[in-house]
């Protein structure tokens, strides 16, 4: 009498491992998709590297499960055709009676659970639940995997319906495995026969009492050996291999049937992003302004140094048209610069007059001032009144004070920069060593270059000459 009884072959056990692994992985990758909003689901999906990875893994194990189904069909055929096993897995009236016995046992009307054969009614229930569940999952899975193809032959509504079936059946299967399978083979008794392949006599008594009796009565099924069985094997194996190949081809078609969607969707809108409206205004002058009263100056004489220099300075022409910022190339701070906008003897041909009489210049001179300019130009635009043109050695009054007019912006007023006031002859001498231009800061600083309000070379030469001549107040 053997101590342990054989229950599962290596092949059966490998099938179980394939089921165990694929079912678990399908559940782990599938249930989080059903409950995609749950915290745990998101952690699991994250663990797999995101939802697309989860779906790939799900499909890989779905394919493994389908291959296991193909193998299982082949194994059934082997049992029936080659081994010619008796009907041990099909449901029977005996199973119904055993189930009724179990219920009576629960109610206390039977002293012991039913004595059952090779497969109990509980095991058969689970097996057929698995068959049904796999069928539902494979069919609904196909519809979800290939929705374009599905909608070519079925109403589109079948696809969301397939999702409900796939998701509902999955939950049912997982819960059934936890409640039914785990209870019966892990909790009620820890049944290791699916891994070891054998079962102890004690467990056989409890769970398969009828089979044990048959074994001991010598009525147990033993797989046939001998020529007939070998012949059937030689026929069955190639036939089954052929059938398996066809079924595997079916799986291949299943998983590669269609390209459901493009990989990268186009931008939803094709409109030029940057399309500016013609602006009429952000930088354009506003329409209403408050004019500032223009200052007027009495003109003492019609010369540049002794008249217009003050006009240009007092009206702040030199703010823009000065040394620092000779706007439009016009420097009204010097006599020479002013001549750039003047055609001597021709006021109407002189830009200075044209612009001033044009009226749309920022700073507008009074009519008297413009008349003075006209008179000055008509007179040949002399440096000083009564003089035909500039000449003679330079003096402070002419032209040095003019050259330095724009310097007054800093070197002038109540607190002149560096204590140097260039607005008067006396104070300007503080920066001058008469007769020695190089020793005079006034010249040396300018000659070094880079000073704000830098004089040009011509002006510098005049300054040098003036100092070299002893820096006289009046020129020649």
Tell me how far, at minimum, the Cβ of 297 lies from other proteins, in Å. 7
Of 51-70, which residues contact other proteins (CB under 8 A)? 51-52
Nearer of residues 106 and 461 to other proteins, judged by Cβ = 106
Of 380-399, which residues contact other proteins (CB under 8 A)? 397
Say whether residue 163 binds other proteins (CB under 8 A).
Answer: yes
Instruction: Choose the stretch contacting other proteins; rule: CB under 8 A; options: 61-69, 192-200, 274-282, 430-438.
Output: 274-282
Tell me how far, at minimum, the Cβ of 459 lies from other proteins, in Å. 16
Tell me how far, at minimum, the Cβ of 367 lies from other proteins, in Å. 17
Instruction: Choose the stretch contacting other proteins; rule: CB under 8 A; options: 10-18, 223-231, 241-249, 302-310.
Output: 302-310
Say whether residue 165 binds other proteins (CB under 8 A).
Answer: yes
Tell me how far, at minimum, the Cβ of 444 lies from other proteins, in Å. 23
Torsion of CA 126, 129, 131, 135, to 10 degrees: -160
For other proteins, the binding residue among 14, 131, 156, 231 (CB under 8 A) is 156
Q: What is the DSSP letter of 379?
A: T
Say whether residue 334 binds other proteins (CB under 8 A).
Answer: no
**R_g (Cα) of the chain, nearest Å:** 55
Total of chain residues touching other proteins, rule CB under 8 A: 108
Are residues 78 and 224 in contact, defined by beta-carbon separation less than 8 angstroms?
Answer: no
Nearer of residues 233 and 298 to other proteins, judged by Cβ = 298
Instruction: Choose the stretch contacting other proteins; rule: CB under 8 A; options: 72-80, 98-106, 197-205, 243-251.
Output: 98-106
Cα–Cα dist 376/311, whole Å: 12
Nearer of residues 87 and 112 to other proteins, judged by Cβ = 112
Say whether residue 450 binds other proteins (CB under 8 A).
Answer: no
Instruction: Choose the stretch contacting other proteins; rule: CB under 8 A; options: 193-201, 298-306, 370-378, 437-445.
Output: 298-306
Say whether residue 171 binds other proteins (CB under 8 A).
Answer: yes
Cα–Cα dist 5/205, whole Å: 11
Say whether residue 454 binds other proteins (CB under 8 A).
Answer: no
Tell me how far, at minimum, the Cβ of 153 lies from other proteins, in Å. 8
Say whether residue 79 binds other proteins (CB under 8 A).
Answer: no
| Dihedral of alpha carbons 461, 462, 467, 469, sign | positive
Cα–Cα dist 301/308, whole Å: 8
Are residues 321 and 315 in contact, defined by beta-carbon separation less than 8 angstroms?
Answer: no
User: Hey, what are 78's tokens?
Assistant: 């082997």
Of 345-364, which residues contact other proteins (CB under 8 A)? 360-364
What is the residue whose two structure tokens read 């310097």? 407
DSSP annotation string for 327-364? GGG--TTSHHHHHTT--TT-GGG-HHHHHHHHS-SSS-
For other proteins, the binding residue among 286, 448, 449, 457 (CB under 8 A) is 286
Are residues 332 and 314 in contact, defined by beta-carbon separation less than 8 angstroms?
Answer: no
Say whether residue 265 binds other proteins (CB under 8 A).
Answer: yes
Of 204-223, which residues contact other proteins (CB under 8 A)? none
For other proteins, the binding residue among 24, 100, 233, 424 (CB under 8 A) is 424
User: Hey, what are 196's tokens?
Assistant: 């070891």
For other proteins, the binding residue among 14, 24, 50, 127 (CB under 8 A) is 50
Long-range contacts of 365-373 (CB under 8 A, 24+ apart): 365/294, 365/311, 365/315, 366/294, 366/296, 368/296, 368/299, 369/296, 369/297, 369/299, 369/311, 369/315, 372/299, 372/302, 372/307, 372/308, 372/311, 373/308, 373/311, 373/347
User: Hey, what are 294's tokens?
Assistant: 């223009």
Nearer of residues 161 and 351 to other proteins, judged by Cβ = 161
Alpha helices by DSSP H, 349-424: 351-358, 367-378, 400-403
Say whether residue 271 binds other proteins (CB under 8 A).
Answer: yes
């Amino acid at each position: 009498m053997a101590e342990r009884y054989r229950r599962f072959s290596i092949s059966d056990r490998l099938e179980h491992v394939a089921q165990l692994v694929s079912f678990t992985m399908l559940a782990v990758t599938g249930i989080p998709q059903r409950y995609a909003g749950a915290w745990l689901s998101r952690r699991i999906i994250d663990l797999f590297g995101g939802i697309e990875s989860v779906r790939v893994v799900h499909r890989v194990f779905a394919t493994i499960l389908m291959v296991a189904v193909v193998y299982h069909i082949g194994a059934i055929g082997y049992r029936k055709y080659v081994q010619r096993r008796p009907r041990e897995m099909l449901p029977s009236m005996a199973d119904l009676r055993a189930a009724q016995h179990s219920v009576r046992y629960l109610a206390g009307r039977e002293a012991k659970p039913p004595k059952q054969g090779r497969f109990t009614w509980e095991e058969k229930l689970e097996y057929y639940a698995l068959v049904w569940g796999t069928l539902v999952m494979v069919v609904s899975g196909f519809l979800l995997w290939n929705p374009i193809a599905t909608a070519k032959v079925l109403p589109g509504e079948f696809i969301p319906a397939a999702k409900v079936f796939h998701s509902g059946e999955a939950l049912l299967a997982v819960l059934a495995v936890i409640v039914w399978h785990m209870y019966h083979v892990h909790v009620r008794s820890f049944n290791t026969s699916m891994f070891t392949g054998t079962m102890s006599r004690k467990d056989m008594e409890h769970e398969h009492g009828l089979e044990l009796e048959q074994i001991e009565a010598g009525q147990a099924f033993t797989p046939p050996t001998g020529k007939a069985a070998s012949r059937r094997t030689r026929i069955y194996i190639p036939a089954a291999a052929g059938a398996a190949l066809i079924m595997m081809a079916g799986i291949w078609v299943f998983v590669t049937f269609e390209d459901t969607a493009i990989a990268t969707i186009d931008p939803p809108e094709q409109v030029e992003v940057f399309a500016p409206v013609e602006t009429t205004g952000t930088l354009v002058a506003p329409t209403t302004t408050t004019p500032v009263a223009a200052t007027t100056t009495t003109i003492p004489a019609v010369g540049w140094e002794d008249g217009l220099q003050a006009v240009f300075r007092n009206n702040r022409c030199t703010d823009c048209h000065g040394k620092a910022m000779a706007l439009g190339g016009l420097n009204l701070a010097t006599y020479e610069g002013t001549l750039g906008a003047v055609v001597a003897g021709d006021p109407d041909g002189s830009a200075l007059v044209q612009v001033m009489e044009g009226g749309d210049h920022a700073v507008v001179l009074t009519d008297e001032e413009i008349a003075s300019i006209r008179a000055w130009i008509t007179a040949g635009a002399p440096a000083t009144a009564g003089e035909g043109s500039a000449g003679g050695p330079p003096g402070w009054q002419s032209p040095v004070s003019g050259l330095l007019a724009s310097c007054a912006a800093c070197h002038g007023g109540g607190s002149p920069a560096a204590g140097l006031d260039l607005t008067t002859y006396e104070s300007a001498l503080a920066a001058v060593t008469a007769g020695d231009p190089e020793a005079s800061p006034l010249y040396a600083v300018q000659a070094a270059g880079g000073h704000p309000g830098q004089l040009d070379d011509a002006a510098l030469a005049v300054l040098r000459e003036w100092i070299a001549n002893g820096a006289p107040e009046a020129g020649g």
